[in-house]
Structure 1
Amino acid sequence: MLEQLLTTLGEFVVELISSLGYFGVFLAMAIESACIPLPSEIILPFTGYMVYIGHFDFWTATLAATLGNLFGGLVAYYVGVRGGRPFIQRYGHYFFIKEKELQWTERLFSRHGEITVLVGRLLPVIRTFISLPAGIAKMSAVKMAIYTVLGALPWCMFLIIVGEKLGANWNSLKPLFHRLDLVIGVLILAGIGYFFFKRKGRKRR
């Protein structure tokens, strides 16, 4: 069942990006970030494959993906701001938003605060829904946008590079991506943490 779903989503992503180019990348990532589960683990490696065959420029593709993440995140954020929890509870199922997932992201946001938006962009499930509790909590839109870009950029870069390196085999890891999500997120977070730790150490000297 899962394999069939991933295949169908993969075909949709390939058609969308092949037809619309960079705008297809932007649109696919906006859909994923607006709480509609279209996996970036399929979108971004295929985008990397398009870089590999010379149809896309790496940095333009990365920018399109990151801006798509930002746009979709802002849509979800303003749904949270304007409609609040009652709106999401009433209409969320039309967009595959489950109560359990909403409660989970809300708990994380209330426990760890606004930084959850940044960290959440690197973690499975959370990155799709984290903009909603940020909107419900009336987080600053500017801060939310900055955290979204800072979290989305390394994620987009990493998976586009993976797709570029795999080339024609870009979808060979597709069945494993959901298992690798957490590992990838932790590795990126560790890299970011190491960078800031080293930078702080240099300033002290």
Structure 2
Amino acid sequence: MNYFTNLIYEYGLLAMFLIILIEYACFPISSEIVLPFSGAVASLQHINYFTILFFSVLAGLLGTSFCYTIGRLGGGALLNKLITKFPKAEKGIHTSQMKFNQYGNLAVCFGRLIPICRTYIAFIAGAAGQNLFTYLVSSLIGITVWNAILIGFGYLLRENWDIVGGYYTRYKDIILPLVVFLGMLVLVHVRKDKSSNV
């Protein structure tokens, strides 16, 4: 992971874009580390927050479209092959499949906020033959929320990343659900305020 963070630090926006794209294409790179670090580097390099957010979302959509396409071409047979080749993935695939069957478009959207589900949901949506436009819109919402929270976290830390980053890496399994939960509370609160002002 240090290799990727060094690339981001050295090459800035281009490296961020490519690494985020690869991560969303289901390569074993931790977005929980890459996205906050990208935010911190962007802030230090005086890159506008919404600029890095835009390119991260674009990279995410391109990456997840790759997985969706593979799922669409491979169908259910592909999922069975994944389970056969990677037995540890069976639980995650079955859980994601169950959520997709139960919630459909919402599973694609909110699955982006669930670590296990976000890894497999693109394959499952593709294998299920979900409409591409519907998939992209649902993914856009989920990716934007996830990236905005994690990049924003790093963006606010800025030069304190070296101090806080170690603790974040160690306790991210506790910190991330809390940050996402607080982020969702803020969004709900903002929506309530807007509806009450209408």
TM-score, normalised relative to structure 2: 0.85
The count of residues paired between Structure 1 and Structure 2 equals: 194
Contact 1:119 1:189 in 2 (8 A): no
Contact 2:71 2:123 in 1 (8 A): yes
Residue 150 of structure 2 corresponds to: 159
SS in 2 for 1:125: helix
Report whether the alignment pairs 1:179 with 2:170: no
Task: Please point out which of 23, 30, 33 is paired with 1:39.
Answer: 30
Q: CA RMSD in A?
A: 2.4
Task: Please point out which of 76, 80, 85 is paired with 2:71.
Answer: 80
Q: Distance in 2 between matches of 1:157 and 1:77?
A: 22
SS in 2 for 1:121: helix
Which structure 2 residue ranges, 5 or more long, are not aligned? none
Contact 2:8 2:41 in 1 (8 A): no
Q: Distance in 2 between matches of 1:121 and 1:47?
A: 18
Which structure 1 residue ranges, 5 or more long, are not aligned? 1-8
Q: Distance in 2 between matches of 1:194 and 1:24?
A: 35
1:72 maps to amino acid: G
Give, in angstroms, the shift of residue 54 of structure 1.
1.9
| Superimposed CA distance per residue, residues 97-129 of structure 1 (whole angstroms, 9 cap, x where no aligned partner) | 712111110011111111111111122222222
Contact 1:62 1:160 in 2 (8 A): yes
Contact 1:121 1:151 in 2 (8 A): yes
1:14 maps to amino acid: T
Q: Distance in 2 between matches of 1:186 and 1:196?
A: 15
2:137 maps to amino acid: I
Residue 144 of structure 1 corresponds to: 135
Residue 6 of structure 2 corresponds to: 15
Give, in angstroms, the shift of residue 199 of structure 1.
4.3
Report whether the alignment pairs 1:49 with 2:40: yes
Runs of 4 or more above 6 Å deviation = 92-97
| Superimposed CA distance per residue, residues 66-96 of structure 1 (whole angstroms, 9 cap, x where no aligned partner) | 1111111111111111101322332578789
SS in 2 for 1:155: helix
2:169 maps to amino acid: K
Report whether the alignment pairs 1:67 with 2:58: yes
| Superimposed CA distance per residue, residues 31-80 of structure 1 (whole angstroms, 9 cap, x where no aligned partner) | 22222231111111111121231253322211111111111111111111
Matches within 5 A, 1:24-35: 24-35=15-26
Q: Distance in 2 between matches of 1:132 and 1:193?
A: 30
Contact 1:124 1:182 in 2 (8 A): no
As a proportion of its length, which structure holds more helix?
A: 2
1:143 maps to amino acid: T
In percent, how many aligned pairs have the same letter?
A: 26
- Cα distance 1:145–1:83, how it changes in 2: closer, same or farther (>3 A)? same
